Structure 1
């Protein structure tokens, strides 16, 4: 029996990264909300039991401030590189030009060569 299947072109929109980011944001939100719930522990010895309990909303604001600070640092690192058009994916190869700090301003083919046998120009020389 001969079956014909119609081949469809692959999708052009990358949905995998979008789903991963959405899942990460959802997990972060749920873990932050779960971490801001009050703890059900006894007051440690030596602490005043009459102190006001810490509000869960206050803890949530502190956690969000820390996450916001981390995001600002990440943005300060990656945004300038992305604005220059560099590839910012992890493990991306970078084309780095060789640099010689404090070296001569001439290129290698313009360096002085020795004029005669007594000249000191042109490179290393060893004598016994």
Structure 2
């Protein structure tokens, strides 16, 4: 191995080791138990209204989606562009086009011709 490859391998191993130490070190705080409730110190679990949860978890993302869509579409609508399905069709393109270079291989002119580059059969 070259010295550059060894340095990269050493850097990658160091990064993985440091990441593992951070994960293991942070796991200690996550394993804490829930404190024993004492009168007046620990609040009971609040009741969650299903409609409120649905509006928060579904309504806010939907609202963000609508706002982003409007920000994307509004300039085109202000310019008067057609945003219909048929308006977005690309122009006809000729992929591969006519031959322009003299060094390109000619396509085969018959079934037995070997012109045209690579070929294969089953």
Both structures adopt the same fold (TM-score exceeding 0.5) = no
- TM-score after normalising by structure 2: 0.32
- TM-score after normalising by structure 1: 0.31
- In terms of fraction of residues, the more helix-rich structure is 2
